[in-house]
């Protein structure tokens, strides 16, 4: 809305009056007029850009610190931790699952967002596609996985894809993730597709119990061969999007970014035989999520060391 002076004929057309009008608008800026806040505290966790965060003991699940950890938020691609967990649980009962061949459908190929860059009709083992799901954050891989495993989970006239999503939701409930619901296997923004930082700790602790998951999320690069529809082979290489793996002590897990979710990161780290899980949701940028996480890790490790020295 224009300031009142722009509606006055008396000031239109004069540079001096226009200047005075602009000065008047700036002078009444509520931000400039707001009283100063209290000085920054010298104790407590560092300042971060993320909207919610939590730190927990990876072995016991004890919550060590957090902020807004129970607020429901869009999860972006950290959704794929649950996608992987559904497969891990199926493979736990039937290890031959890892050797099954998945064929990419047109639907998977055309899924927008992050991609493992496989094409319609190309095939590869489940064991390899898990890397394509978790390293480059393959939205297309998540759809291919849901379509492949869904039919064996279906009830009645339910489609395989819908059955896989229902299984994700049921698994969340079994883990006590009471504020989490899924509408897809990849994390693209969808109404009702939500989670919390606290719920993500529960999910990650469960997934990290599986050696295959720990091995996959800690891998910085994975190469494999896919079969093309014409019977030839094609080599593909996936790089892990998690920059924390460049630093000693970080165990990896999963990144995720959408405009609705912001930049998200679920990570695990180990120091002096103690393992932690951290979730940051809604950081201001990709760079910021790593700065947020590293600053929070430095703070919590120092606090834990001080607590240990006092015992």
Query: Residues forming the annotated binding site for substrate?
Result: 254
The label of the residue with tokens 């890790």 reads 297
Catalytic residue among 77, 142, 181, 283: 77
Binding residues: 254
Q: Is 280 exposed, middle or buried (0-12, 13-18, 19+ CB in 10 A)?
A: buried
Annotated catalytic, 17? Answer: no
Catalytic site residue from 80, 114, 142, 267: 80
Helix (H/G/I), strand (E/B), else coil: 239? strand
What does the angle CA 165 – CA 91 – CA 219 come to, to the nearest 5 degrees?
A: 90
Alpha-helical runs (H) found in the chain: 15-27, 30-33, 80-93, 106-109, 126-134, 139-149, 160-174, 197-207, 211-217, 286-310
| Sign of CA pseudo-dihedral 294, 296, 299, 300 | negative
Work out the angle at residue 214's Cα, subtended by the Cα atoms of residues 211 and 216, and round it to the nearest 5 degrees.
Answer: 105
77 is catalytic: yes
* Nearest alpha carbon to residue 191 among 133, 114, 256, 260: 260
User: Which among 114, 137, 142, 283 is annotated as catalytic?
Assistant: 137
Alpha carbon separation from 74 to 121, 134, 200, 297 (Å, rounded): 32, 18, 12, 23
Q: How far is residue 247 CA from its own chain's centroid?
A: 20
Neighbours of 202 (CB within 10 A): 20
In this structure, are residues 255 and 47 in contact, taking their beta carbons and an 8 Å threshold?
no
Q: Which long-range contacts (CB under 8 A, 24 or more apart) does 189-193 make?
A: 189/74, 189/258, 189/259, 189/260, 189/261, 193/74, 193/75, 193/79
- Catalytic residue list: 77, 80, 137
């Amino acid at each position: 809305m224009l300031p009142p002076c722009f509606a006055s004929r008396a000031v239109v057309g004069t540079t001096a009056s226009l200047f005075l009008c602009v000065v008047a608008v700036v002078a009444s800026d509520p931000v400039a007029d707001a009283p100063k806040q209290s000085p920054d505290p010298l104790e407590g966790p560092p300042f971060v850009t993320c909207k919610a965060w939590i730190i927990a003991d990876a072995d016991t699940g004890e919550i060590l610190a957090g902020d807004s950890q129970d607020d429901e938020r869009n999860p972006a691609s950290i959704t794929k931790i649950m996608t992987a967990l559904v497969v891990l649980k199926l493979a736990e009962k039937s290890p031959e699952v890892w050797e099954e061949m998945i064929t990419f459908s047109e639907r998977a190929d055309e899924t927008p967002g992050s991609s493992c860059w496989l094409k319609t009709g190309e095939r590869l083992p489940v064991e390899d596609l898990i890397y394509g799901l978790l390293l480059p954050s393959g939205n297309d891989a998540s759809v291919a996985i849901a379509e492949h495993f869904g039919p064996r989970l279906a009830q009645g006239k339910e489609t395989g894809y819908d059955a896989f999503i229902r299984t994700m939701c049921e698994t969340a409930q079994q883990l006590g993730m009471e504020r989490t619901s899924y509408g897809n296997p990849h994390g693209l923004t969808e109404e009702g597709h939500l989670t919390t930082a606290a719920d993500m700790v529960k999910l990650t602790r469960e997934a990290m119990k599986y050696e295959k998951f720990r091995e996959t999320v800690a891998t910085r690069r994975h190469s494999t061969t896919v079969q093309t529809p014409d019977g030839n082979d094609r080599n593909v290489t996936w790089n892990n999007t998690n920059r924390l793996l460049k630093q000693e002590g970080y165990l990896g897990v999963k990144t995720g970014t959408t405009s609705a979710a912001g930049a998200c990161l679920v990570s695990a780290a180990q120091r002096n035989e103690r393992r932690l899980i951290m979730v940051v949701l809604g950081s201001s940028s990709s760079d910021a999520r790593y700065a947020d996480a590293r600053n929070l890790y430095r703070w919590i490790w120092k606090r834990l060391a001080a607590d240990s020295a006092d015992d």
